């Protein structure tokens, strides 16, 4: 298990209310894993609720002692909201977690992965 992994996240919603989540796992700015996740409209009614369920899933996929979530999404401006709930789960697994809102410097691939999940209507997680 390596020390730090950054996870860039994007969430998109289609006209039917389905959610697509794109995540790129980066170690020192090198991609090591991607996630393109699909959630049916019956699972969540808002991007906020989708994120509350998805971030713990992504945290479990990270092979690191410290996980740093980053996103341009408006929901991440209230990052303390996510960080508190994630910190409880992280502590149980001996991890440290941070959540931050970023305006620049994030991967464009996350939106492509989210859109791909909505098109495909299934979830895929893969090591690079």
Q: Pairing mode, if any, of strands 19-27 and 2-13?
A: antiparallel
User: What pLDDT does 43 receive?
Assistant: 93
* Domain boundaries, position 117: 2-127
Can you tell me the distance from the alpha carbon of 96 to that of 98, in angstroms, rounded to the nearest whole number? 7
Q: Give the model's pLDDT for residue 107.
A: 72
Reference 56, options 14, 2, 20, 9; nearest CA is 9
Tell me the C-alpha distance between 35 and 52, whole Å. 16
CA distances from 32 to 23, 39, 90 (A): 11, 23, 21
CATH number at residue 7: 3.30.420.10
Q: Give the CA distances from residue 50 to residues 2, 19, 21, 30, in Å, rounded to whole numbers and listed in that order.
A: 28, 8, 9, 26
Q: What is the count of structural domains for the chain?
A: 1
Query: pLDDT tens per residue, the chain (128 residues)?
Result: 569 999 999 999 999 999 999 999 999 889 999 999 999 999 999 998 999 999 999 999 998 999 999 998 888 887 677 888 888 888 888 899 999 888 776 778 999 999 999 999 999 999 99
> Using H for helix, E for strand and C for coil, what is the string for 9-22?
EEEEECCCCCEEEE
What would the two tokens of residue 87 be? Answer: 């910190």
């Amino acid at each position: 298990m390596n020390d730090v992994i950054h996870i860039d996240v994007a969430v998109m919603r289609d006209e039917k209310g389905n959610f697509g989540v794109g995540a790129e796992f980066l170690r020192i700015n090198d991609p090591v894993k991607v996630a393109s996740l699909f959630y049916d409209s019956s699972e969540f009614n808002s991007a906020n609720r989708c994120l509350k369920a998805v971030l713990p899933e992504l945290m479990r996929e990270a092979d690191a002692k410290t996980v740093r979530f980053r996103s341009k999404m408006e929901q991440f401006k209230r990052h303390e909201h996510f960080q508190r709930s994630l910190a409880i789960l992280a502590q149980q697994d001996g991890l440290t977690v941070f959540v931050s809102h970023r305006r620049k410097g994030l991967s464009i691939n996350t939106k492509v992965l989210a859109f791909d999940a909505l098109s495909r209507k299934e979830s895929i997680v893969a090591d690079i």
